[in-house]
């Protein structure tokens, strides 16, 4: 999974201090995710960042393996109060430490618009899940039309910010494209929603088939 870890390593200390920008959307995402979890669930989180979501989900599952390819982010995660059933690991979806067919639920929030080849990532997630396992994701779909002039300006600014090392790789995902790629990897979508609605951060729950 191609992502620039250097940017995120540098950003990690500041990222850890930032408040969640839309707490209502975050809580709705957690609530919908928790509704699919069980006490016996073995959960893998991809792109866990500083670990806050993994720790919020931990009381609802048997175990959590929370991964991020950024050593800086993992270091920040270990600075939080820990839970006995959560382990943090510097890894990405293709890391050999992650065994196929082990995880009942795999989650990835605000991640896949930062990945250059998400189709390969979705195929690997399919392999990592147990039979009938669940893939739960939420992805900003900033490639949608009619998001307004502010997002038009942002799209023009991002390449300049990337040259200056002030922005990571960003893919302009659309809702249709996202759902197509997930189903093409061998999933059946069972729930969707936008949290927030604008710009749409598209929540998808998909069964492995």
User: Domain holding 32: CATH number?
Assistant: 3.40.50.150
pLDDT in tens, 127-142: 999 999 999 999 999 8
Domain that residue 179 falls in:
5-208
Is residue 154 pLDDT above 90, yes or no? no
Nearest by Cα to 137 from 12, 45, 9: 45
Q: pLDDT-based confidence at 161, cuts 50/70/90?
A: confident
Q: Supply the DSSP symbol for 171.
A: -
Q: Name the range with the highest mean pLDDT among 140-149, 156-165, 195-204.
A: 195-204
Q: How far is CA 25 from CA 29, 30, 36, 91, 98, in A?
A: 6, 9, 18, 27, 30
Q: What was the pLDDT predicted at 2?
A: 43
Total domain count, the chain: 1
State the Cα angle at 97 between 169 and 61, rounded to 5°. Answer: 90
pLDDT in tens, 71-129: 999 999 999 999 999 999 999 999 999 999 999 999 999 999 999 999 999 999 999 99
Q: What was the pLDDT predicted at 4?
A: 62
Q: pLDDT-based confidence at 152, cuts 50/70/90?
A: low
What is d(CA 132, CA 137) in angstroms, rounded to the nearest whole number? 16
Q: Which helix (H) or strand (E) holds 204?
A: strand 201-208
pTM: 0.91
Is residue 52 pLDDT above 90, yes or no? yes
């Amino acid at each position: 999974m191609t992502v620039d870890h250097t940017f995120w390593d540098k950003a990690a200390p500041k990222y850890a201090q930032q408040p969640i920008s839309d707490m209502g959307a975050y809580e709705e995402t957690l609530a919908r995710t928790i509704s699919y979890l069980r006490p016996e669930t073995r959960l893998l989180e991809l792109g866990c960042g500083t670990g806050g979501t993994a720790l919020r989900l931990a009381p609802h599952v048997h175990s959590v393996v929370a991964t991020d390819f950024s050593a800086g982010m993992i270091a920040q995660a270990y600075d939080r109060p820990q839970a006995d059933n959560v382990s943090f690991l510097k890894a990405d979806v293709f890391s050999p430490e992650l065994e196929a067919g082990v995880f009942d639920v795999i989650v990835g929030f605000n991640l896949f618009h930062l990945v250059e080849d998400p189709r390969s990532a979705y195929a690997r997630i399919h392999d990592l899940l147990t039979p009938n396992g669940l893939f739960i994701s939420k992805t900003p779909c900033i490639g949608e039309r009619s998001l307004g002039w502010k997002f038009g300006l942002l799209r023009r600014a991002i390449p300049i910010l990337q040259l200056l090392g002030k922005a990571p790789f960003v893919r302009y995902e659309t809702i249709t494209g996202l759902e197509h790629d997930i189903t093409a990897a061998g999933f059946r979508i069972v729930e969707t929603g936008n949290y927030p609605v604008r710009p749409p951060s598209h929540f998808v729950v998909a069964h492995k088939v």
